[in-house]
Amino acid sequence: MKNVYDFTVKDRQGNDVSLSDYKGKVLLIVNTATGCGFTPHYEPLEKMYKELKDQGFEILDFPCNQFANQAPGSDEEIHEFCTLKFGTEFPQFAKIDVNGETADPLFVYLAGEKPFKGFGKGLKNAALNKFADLNNKAYGDKTYIGWNFTKFLIDREGNVVARFEPTVDMNEVRAAVEEAL
């Protein structure tokens, strides 16, 4: 049976990184963007990382520019922005696509394990849903991720146990991470 440890990704310098290097840790895998309304999620993510990393927690950050071109910079520019503005220390990987024919296989797998079920109820979520639908029209049945800052929680055995859309409160995300630890 396949799990996240079967995947290899690229770091910011273009080197291969096997996710099996993270065996035994609880992971939060996130597609991010530096110019998104959800970019402030970096702050609670970094706080959670600093407070929980010694318990075997890692956040794996994958910048993506497929949502309204909200991550236009180079890998180095994105990294510099995140470290200077939010003090991020968790691993940040090379910019990837998460939808379409060029979607990274890791995100195709993650979304297959925990498919998109909507952004939730409420006016803000409905507005995001309309905007995301317009943005993602080009990807058709290869739309795996609805928007930036979608988070996947991985248990210590490499299994996908939860998916959190960007509209989910970060306190709920943290509670699930703490439970997995």
CATH code at position 84: 3.40.30.10
Could you give the count of Cα atoms lying within 13 Å of 15 in the half-sphere of its Cβ?
A: 3
Structural contact between residues 64 and 31, judged by C-beta atoms closer than 8 angstroms: yes
Helix (H) or strand (E) holding 55: none
Structural domain of 30 = 4-180
Give the pLDDT of the chain (181 residues) as one tens digit per residue: 689 999 999 999 999 999 999 999 999 999 999 988 889 999 999 999 999 999 999 999 999 999 988 898 899 999 999 999 999 999 999 999 999 999 999 999 999 999 988 888 777 777 788 878 888 888 888 999 999 999 999 999 999 999 999 999 999 999 999 999 9
Is 36 in the active site? yes
Residue-level pLDDT at 1: 62
Q: Which two tokens stand for residue 158?
A: 């490499």
| Number of domain units in the chain | 1
Instruction: List the catalytic residue out of 36, 96, 160, 177.
Output: 36
For 28, counting Cβ atoms within 10 Å of its Cβ (0-12 exposed, 13-18 middle, 19+ buried), the class is: buried
**pTM of the model as a whole:** 0.94
